[in-house]
Chains A and B, each alone.
Chain A
Amino acid sequence: MAEANQPLEKAPLRSKDYASSQMVRWCPGCGDYAILSQFQSALAILEIPKEKVAIISGIGCSSRFPYYMNTYGVHSIHGRATAFATGLRLTRPDLSIWVVTGDGDGLAIGGNHMLHLLRRNLDINVLLFNNQIYGLTKGQYSPTSQPGLKTKTSPSGLSDYPLNPLAFALGAGASFVARGIDRDSKHLRNLIIASHQHKGTAFLEIYQNCNIFNDGAFSLFTGKETKLDHTILLESGQPLIFGSEKQYGILLDGHLPKRVDLNNRQYSIDDLWIHDEKDIYKAQILARFFDAPGEMTDTSFPRPFGIIYQEAKPCYQDLQEFHSKETMESQSEKDIQELLKGKSSWIVE
């Protein structure tokens, strides 16, 4: 690898150092701006050298992301960023590799590759911008669109059931599964940092508002009036409490989650479920907190944000290196000739 001489002391990188000179061309008011800004800020905090960062995207609004970063970047083809990143990761253990994708790119056309990336657990960070719509092709429904949604391709309302991305990721064997949202920037930045720090595939779903084709899809989770009653911020070791006055809690009744009102004195904080990122069974229940946004009922659950699941397990390339002992450096010219010669050869005179 070529390495240029670098000055001995360098000023620490600031988030703007990670921004490219390209003019950002997302629609004004798009949630992508906030994500870009928090990503640049996270890289600065993590102090990753710009040349060590490779951002691979597919096709869609989110996939324009690499152009706006002063790092290495490839805007590849629809759905295949995960596959492209796989080859880069397997051959370049030194890089910090990020896949930027969307609900269409990563879960429709690229669903297969996403499944297998998560299963293999390569050390790649996936940022999946979920706006529940096809934006770049101007407003068709996506695999995460809500039932009944009226779009250009579902004028009388959508009949598809939406995919649950976190349940999908857990089902595929993901070792890091988290959810953030464009409007909660500091929380999002921390999740991006945690994704980087996780060894293995990090799957971070980011709710992102498309103010042109699906405006307000997440307003229940962002609106002042509704946010606290409809979301829950997960923190490891902390009880599951939510609500405008922290009046609600969630406990486990056998294997079933139960939503309780702490004000009626039947239950106290001590009865509540304590979040444990390493518990796959609890993570699978949390991923199922996926009720259609609407009226809050006694049987519905708030939407969880934060790290749902995190597990330390060997990633694909570590296992590969474990299984193969030798490397290119240990081979000499003679070995190639021996290889060509094979086990049995003869001389023609």
Chain B
Amino acid sequence: MSETETIIKEEVTIKFAGDSGDGMQLTGKLFTENTALAGNDLATFPDFPSEIRAPTGTVWGVSGFQVHFGSRKINTPGDQYDVLVAMNAAAFKSNLSMVKRIGATIIINTDGFDSRNLRLAEYENADSPFAHIPLEGYELLKIPVTKLTKEALADSTLGRKDQERCKNMFVLGYLLWKYNRRLDNSILFLEEKFKHKPDLLVANRKVLKAGFYFGETNESFTSRYQVDEADLPQGRYRGITGTESLVFGLVTASHKSKLPLYYASYPITPASDILHNLVALEDYGVKTFQAEDEIAAICSAIGAAYGGSLGITGTSGPGLALKTEAMGLAAMLELPLVILNIQRGGPSTGLPTKTEQADLLMALYGRNGECPIPVLAVPNPSEAFYIAYEACKIAVEHMTPVIVLSDGYINNGAVPWKIPNPDELPPIQVKFAVAPENGIDYLPYKRDVNGVRPWAIPGTPGLMHQIGGLEKEDGTGSVSYDPDNHQLMVKARQAKVDTIADFVPDQKIESGPESGDVLVLGWGSTHGVIESAVQQLLSEGHKIAHAHLRHIAPLPNKLGTILNAYKKVIIPEVNNGQLVKIIKDKFLLPVIPFSQIKGMPIFKDELVSFITKHLS
């Protein structure tokens, strides 16, 4: 056995790629968990085909899991890969262009490169996969993973297919060795996952160890890598996905407000996971309802809110379009409601499993009539919790529907998460109306100083009233067609939403000086890439800053002052320039768009080079 050299790395991006059935999501998840326990900061990005079981071996059936980890702050799942694990020729073909040009490692399962796999991946001849790789720049490791897996299971009673399915554990074991990790917590996970299937547990554990020892004993691999612990703030951490983070925010809001949570939804990618997660939380007072369509989902949530629950509905782009009319009803009834929109590529069915930020204008304006609704945007998986909580707080305290925009990139991504203490969150004030003194009529649309009407729920004696989608008379809430009253009510509903700006934090600078050459303004899931790009340019000595919007309607106070403190404002978005329109409209500034609409997150290097052009 030769000496193994250990190289210290500051950050690494690994892409696990294989057939949909190769178990790459699980491999990625387990490697990520191990990485988190090793104390690294990290971000992940799963990437799977929209076909449930695409034909085996084809390029469109490739499923991938990307993890970026390091000993420094990690903001994104990484642009290009330091390591590509390709379980077959199709996975290799579809990911090769994303591998770093120099110094990267490509690990291939040679058993996935037989003539059948090469044909399915549409390679012309057996040599061609590697013909175009400048091999001197790469570390290309050819490992017969399937064969070695079967050898490790030579004495197993499992069938051939079940044996082959263990091959992802060989890869995991090998990478755990390669990154100087411990096997024990991955074994613990397997013991939990297969506690009712002892033969699968034995096999997976055996193959995992075989992968690890293969690294240790094989003479041809001489270098291991070490990524040291990141300097994270003190506290208790766990791994969390954006979806889980959102769900915990909602449940915590329900708990703190003492309002039962009612979540109604219709299955749609990528929002369905929210329903899957909430269904499991019935013990926390959560009631879920899988409705017959998007419209029924939102209408039933409004019905629940009318009855005094925390009514929530969730969907993705096309579903939000269907909910439009009912959002108007919620705005007219002035009832609390939270609408989650986990954006995906559009229009129409678009790119269901790919990410995009193109529903901003729909969220802001996509309703008939003058219909202002507060819009919040989640910047990353960690903060989804706080945004969800705040959305519930605004909805209940200001008696309004609230839209929360997230996207597939945030919801499916995972990060280490500092576990919040619910006691430290601001309280959510709920005031159900009670019967007024004798002789005074109850006025359902009498507003308080913040323009908020009372919440009188059915079952309360003395407060019987009738409300609906027709225009209301100020105060009484009776049907009114009076011209002046209509204008008054339109302005009152707008003023109520505008006032919310005084109840949310003022706009802040994320990083960089308070004035300078360029401000990069973002919203939603571009947070990580903007922060990384700005950090790099700051370290190069540029006068550049990053500001990120969590509130898009109403826009936070002090935003105008910040925008005017820089010579140029650049707005990167995964759409055709939607926030750009809002900022131009509101502040009359010549902002510069950076639009990328590829169903993928923006890459740091591309953003850096775009900004650099505007810095000179």
Task: Give me the interface of A with B, judged by CB distance under 8 Å.
Answer: 1-4, 6, 20, 22, 49-54, 56-57, 59, 66-67, 69-77, 80, 82-92, 94-95, 112-113, 115-116, 320, 324, 326-328, 331, 333, 335-337, 339-342, 344-349
Tell me the B225-272 residues at the A interface (CB within 8 Å).
Answer: 232-240, 248, 251-252, 255, 260, 262, 264
Q: Which among B235, B262, B468 is the interface contact of A90 at CB below 8 angstroms?
A: B262
Closest 4 CB pairs of A and B: A75-B468, A328-B285, A87-B303, A87-B300
What are 15 contact pairs spanning A and B, CB under 8 A? A4-B462, A20-B466, A70-B464, A71-B464, A73-B466, A74-B306, A76-B468, A77-B328, A84-B300, A91-B260, A91-B309, A340-B238, A346-B37, A346-B236, A347-B237
Check A86–B303 contact: CB distance below 8 A: yes
CB distance from A21 to the nearest CB of B (A): 10
* B463 interface hit (Cβ, 8 Å): yes
- Measured between beta carbons, the chain A residues less than 8 angstroms from B217 are none
Question: Are B285 and A87 neighbours in the complex by a CB distance under 8 Å?
Answer: no
Is the Cβ of A91 less than 8 Å from the Cβ of B291? no
- Given A66-B468, A340-B248, A94 and B37 touching (CB < 8 A)? no
Bound form: Cα–Cα A73–B465 in Å: 6
Closest to A340 in B: B419
Docked-complex contact B289 and A92, CB < 8 angstroms: no
Please, which residues of chain A bring their CB within 8 A of the CB of B262?
Answer: 87, 90-91
Give the distance in Å from the alpha carbon of A324 to the alpha carbon of B283 in the complex.
Answer: 8
Query: Is B606 positioned at the interface, with any CB of A under 8 Å from its CB?
Result: no
B579 at the A interface (CB under 8 A): no
Report how far A222 CA is from B61 CA in the complex, Å. Answer: 66
B295 in contact with A83 (CB, 8 Å): yes
Instruction: Let me know if B419 and A86 touch, CB within 8 A.
Output: no
Apart from A73-B467, A84-B303, 12 more pairs, CB < 8 Å:
A2-B433, A51-B462, A52-B459, A71-B464, A76-B299, A80-B326, A87-B307, A112-B296, A113-B292, A336-B251, A342-B238, A348-B418
User: Is the CB–CB distance between B303 and A85 below 8 Å?
Assistant: yes
B299 pairs with A337, CB closer than 8 A: no
A-B contact count (CB 8 A): 222
B474–chain A nearest beta-carbon distance, Å: 17
Q: Which residues of B contact A349 (CB under 8 A)?
A: 234
> When A1-B308, A3-B461 are in contact, do A331 and B283 touch as well, CB less than 8 Å?
yes
Collect the chain B residues with CB atoms within 8 Å of residue A53's CB: 458
Q: A56-B303, A87-B289, A348-B235 are in contact. Are A339 and B281 (CB under 8 A)?
A: yes
CB <8 Å contact, A87 and B299: yes
Residues of the B chain whose Cβ atoms lie less than 8 Å from the Cβ of A6: 461
A82 to chain B: which residues have CB within 8 Å? 296
Chain B neighbourhood of A335, CB < 8 A: 283-284
Q: Which residue of B lies closest to A337 (CB)?
A: B422
Q: Are A341 and B422 in touch, CB under 8 angstroms?
A: no
* Distance to closest chain A CB from B385 (angstroms): 8
A111 to chain B, nearest CB (A): 11
Distance between B73 CB and nearest chain A CB, rounded to angstroms: 13
B305 proximity list for chain A (CB < 8 A): 87
Interface pair B311/A87, CB less than 8 Å apart: yes
Q: In the complex, are the beta carbons of B238 and A344 less than 8 A apart?
A: yes
Residue of A nearest to B41 (CB): A348
Contact yes or no, A92 B307, CB < 8 A:
yes
Return the chain B residue nearest A116 by Cβ.
Answer: B292
Q: Check B470 against A86 for contact (C-beta < 8 Å).
A: no
Are B466 and A66 in contact, CB atoms less than 8 angstroms apart? yes
- B106 interface contact, C-beta 8 A: no
Verify if B72 is at the interface (C-beta below 8 Å from A): no
CA distance A91 to B333 in the complex (A): 18
Complex alpha-carbon distance, A340 and B417, angstroms: 10
Q: Which residue of A lies closest to B468 (CB)?
A: A75
